[in-house]
Amino acid sequence: MNHGQPSQIGRRGLLAGAAGLSALALFPGRLSAQDTPRRGGVLRMGLGGGSTTDDFDLRKLNDWVPVNQAYMVMNGLVEIDAENIARPELFESWETGEGAGEWLFRVRQGITFHNGKTLTADDIVYSLNLHRGDSSSAARSIAAAFSDVRKVSQHEVRITLTSGNADLPYVLSDYHFLVVPEGFTDWTNPIGTGPFVPESIEPGVRARFRRNPDYWKPGCANVDTVEVIVINDIAARTNALMSGQVQVINNLDLKTVDLLARNRNLEIVRSKGGQHYTFLMDCTKAPFSDANVRLAVKHAVDRELLLKTALLGNGALGNDHPIPSSDRFFNSELPQRPYDPDKARFHLRQAGLEGLTLTLHSSDAAFPGAVDAAAIYRTTAAPAGIEVAIQREPADGYWDNVWMKAPFCMSYWGGRPTADQMLTIAYASGSAQNDTHWASADFDRLLTEARALLDDSRRREIYWELQRMIHDDGGAMIPMFGDYLDAVSVKVKGVTPHPMFNLMGARMAEKVWLD
């Protein structure tokens, strides 16, 4: 289960054409002789996170069901494997020069769409352009970094960046960057190059996909048919698995994980990704404009207790920065911040305060169990002289009305494929989603510098420093990381945890087979 430490494949080697890393690399270390994929059968998935209005519009992909279904029908450009390494998918290889500002990607050849069209650079340029410019795409801010996406030849695409980014292949693994044929707009009847062809789709209810007999990825597309049944209610989802009506469910109820684990016909799949939960302090508003107050808040939380009670142990401790231990740039030498009410009092005194009264805005929209977590924080903060009043907010409109607006509120971040992306989106001073309004010129400068570096050891140095800066000075108190939890029937084989998302990074249907 240890997918934490990425293997030390040099970044250069990776950059200079990863084509050689073929099928085996997609399943590192998990395949043994008796683990050969078997063809056939019907995979039935009961998934939460779907809606009547779902379609396959790549710009709007947001919830679990549409994202998983999109990966059944389409392919990405780059795939993040179980070891958190970017592997070639429709981009077969890539190279860049010093500064990482201009990238040349080679398009995999001999791939056909479900409608018979051959994949070329035009399709990829079109698919990327969906998210660029004046687009309503959720990936718009990521794609804004592409100053130019140009077809060089039928099988080559050049991407020019506004500023260098050595992690571009990782950035391109985002689930919005899937590929459809050039000019494609019929988002209810999707066409892709993926492992399955849609047979019938009833949005928010059920969908059936047939195996693509010409699928190109070795060892994949093993089952004949995939059936997705949308089950948003967690109890109904669990019942469906228990009674054998489905073989896979996602997003388990934390309270029933232990009970499910006792069932010998089931297996719990625990994906330790970058998903983390945050208590956000607005650094531009008093009292949080004082760094000492922020440190006091950070010392006043009993993280172990929070993890044990709010997440029932299904996660890992956070150290007030957003980089998970599975990231290759995780600062492993930064000491874990302990629960220390005296230290918190000390920092309050440094700020010239005897005590502190705060209003914490909370809602289960922030993350399941957030309101309980707020109550626990209130208890552990009291001995530090911090009095917390909890303002419970409606889940509806939480992201609109509370997040980024209330001076002290709760939130979460899903993992990002690279440290740079995580640090940029939530901590760079220019980001629209800098939810603590923290601004540090040094941080911004180092972040930009590291982004363009191809030298891994220097980059590591910088990312370690950036984590320390957020840990000491930033406005986010990050007490814990939460696991993604799925459960599968033991009849489903080839299942692995994934460092990005659950359901094997939303690619479970492509990879598994049935016993």
The single residue listed with the structure tokens 């063809």 is 39
Q: In the 8-state DSSP scheme, what is residue 419?
A: H
467: buried, middle or exposed (CB in 10 Å: 19+, 13-18, 0-12)?
Answer: buried
202 in contact with another protein (CB under 8 A): yes
Distance CA 163, CA 149 (A): 14
Task: Please identify, among the stretches 50-58, 99-107, 278-286, 493-501, the one whose residues bind another protein according to the rule CB under 8 A.
Answer: 50-58
Task: Please identify, among the stretches 48-56, 104-112, 160-168, 471-479, the one whose residues bind another protein according to the rule CB under 8 A.
Answer: 48-56
Report 120-159 residues binding another protein (CB under 8 A): 134-141
The minimum distance between CB 191 and another protein, in angstroms, equals: 17
Closer to another protein by Cβ: residue 434 or 502: 434
Closer to another protein by Cβ: residue 158 or 208: 208
275 in contact with another protein (CB under 8 A): no
225 in contact with another protein (CB under 8 A): no
Distance CA 128, CA 84 (A): 23
244 in contact with another protein (CB under 8 A): yes
Parallel, antiparallel or unpaired: strands 476-482 and 315-317: antiparallel
- Count of C-beta atoms within a 10 Å radius of residue 458: 12
Closer to another protein by Cβ: residue 139 or 428: 139
Which residues, including other chains, have CB under 8 Å from residue 223's CB and lie 6 or more apart? 39, 40, 41, 42, 43, 211, 509, 512, 513, 514
Report 369-398 residues binding another protein (CB under 8 A): 394, 396-398
Of the residues 36, 115, 188, 189, which one makes contact with another protein according to CB under 8 A: 188
Helix (H) or strand (E) holding 163: none
Distance CA 184, CA 167 (A): 28
Q: In the 8-state DSSP scheme, what is residue 119?
A: P
Closer to another protein by Cβ: residue 163 or 245: 245
Distance CA 82, CA 92 (A): 19
Of the residues 57, 156, 364, 465, which one makes contact with another protein according to CB under 8 A: 57
186 in contact with another protein (CB under 8 A): no
The minimum distance between CB 423 and another protein, in angstroms, equals: 17
**Can you read off the two tokens belonging to residue 383?**
């001995």
46 in contact with another protein (CB under 8 A): yes
Distance CA 273, CA 138 (A): 21
Closer to another protein by Cβ: residue 198 or 341: 198
Of the residues 109, 379, 433, 442, which one makes contact with another protein according to CB under 8 A: 433
| Residue 251 · residue 64 · CB < 8 Å | yes
405 in contact with another protein (CB under 8 A): no
The minimum distance between CB 201 and another protein, in angstroms, equals: 11
203 in contact with another protein (CB under 8 A): yes
Closer to another protein by Cβ: residue 161 or 234: 234
Of the residues 129, 225, 239, 391, which one makes contact with another protein according to CB under 8 A: 239
Distance CA 58, CA 67 (A): 9
401 in contact with another protein (CB under 8 A): yes
**Can you read off the two tokens belonging to residue 110?**
């001999």
Distance CA 407, CA 213 (A): 54
How many residues in the shown chain lie near another protein by CB under 8 A?
50
210 in contact with another protein (CB under 8 A): no
Distance CA 106, CA 432 (A): 33
Task: Please identify, among the stretches 4-12, 109-117, 202-210, 211-219, the one whose residues bind another protein according to the rule CB under 8 A.
Answer: 202-210
Task: Please identify, among the stretches 53-61, 316-324, 378-386, 438-446, the one whose residues bind another protein according to the rule CB under 8 A.
Answer: 53-61
**Can you read off the two tokens belonging to residue 204?**
């928010």
Report 65-104 residues binding another protein (CB under 8 A): none
Distance CA 328, CA 167 (A): 12
The minimum distance between CB 401 and another protein, in angstroms, equals: 5
261 in contact with another protein (CB under 8 A): no
Which residues, including other chains, have CB under 8 Å from residue 455's CB and lie 6 or more apart? none
Closer to another protein by Cβ: residue 52 or 336: 52
53 in contact with another protein (CB under 8 A): yes
Q: What is the DSSP string of 52-96?
A: TT----TTT--SHHHHHHHHHH--BSEEE-TTS-EEESSEEEEEE
Which residues, including other chains, have CB under 8 Å from residue 400's CB and lie 6 or more apart? none
The minimum distance between CB 386 and another protein, in angstroms, equals: 27
Q: Where are the beta strands (DSSP E) in 90-218?
A: 91-96, 102-107, 146-153, 156-161, 196-202, 206-211
The minimum distance between CB 54 and another protein, in angstroms, equals: 7
Catalog residues that contact another protein under the rule CB under 8 A.
46, 51-55, 57, 60, 62, 134-141, 187-188, 200, 202-206, 229-233, 235-236, 239-240, 242-246, 394, 396-401, 403, 411, 432-433
